[in-house]
Structure 1
């Protein structure tokens, strides 16, 4: 199976950068950060410096993070998603369909501006899942 599972942490608006600095002090490592103002989607001035997406890597301690995905504050328990990264779209589709059974699809699988096929769901047990499959580059 060509799947990698990593947690995706969502922080209340504006706290992600400070959290990443805190985790870097603890684990070392690197953080690749995309700010909301650098993304090709509309963003108001007050949120341009907030983190849209961060990939943190330190040895085997890897996770992704962002500032709140909505205007609502993150709720403990709802602020962690399990992110699956695939190398095969057929495998992504099969697992997406299986885990959505009895659950709720919050974003259907579809192409994204970052060059991946992506979708999200909450399974029948209340666990939040993200499905990402990067498109092959020529």
Structure 2
């Protein structure tokens, strides 16, 4: 079994995933707009360039998402995408990238369980926890 987070956006999914591809060092494996789908003729003209589905691979991890139509979109809340990063320097780089124009909930810092831990909500509204654990 695999668990893959699926994020919903209100129209800026493409920009978010292009940002995540750079920030996380991943690769967008698939991105389809509503206009490129078999349902294009059933899609409102202003929504055809919005993302129906995207998949971003980062190592063994897959982050997926789409733009939700306005009547279904709700801002993200009640969860965080948690990243466990092996090296403190890489944790610092990823945290800094995600924090650009975002909101830092807890600065990246050493804790009793981690070399680095921090929480940030990026400029697209996705909440992240960055963790670089100490050895058990």
- Please give the TM-score of this superposition, normalised by the length of structure 1: 0.49
| Bigger radius of gyration | 2
Q: Which has the higher strand share?
A: 1
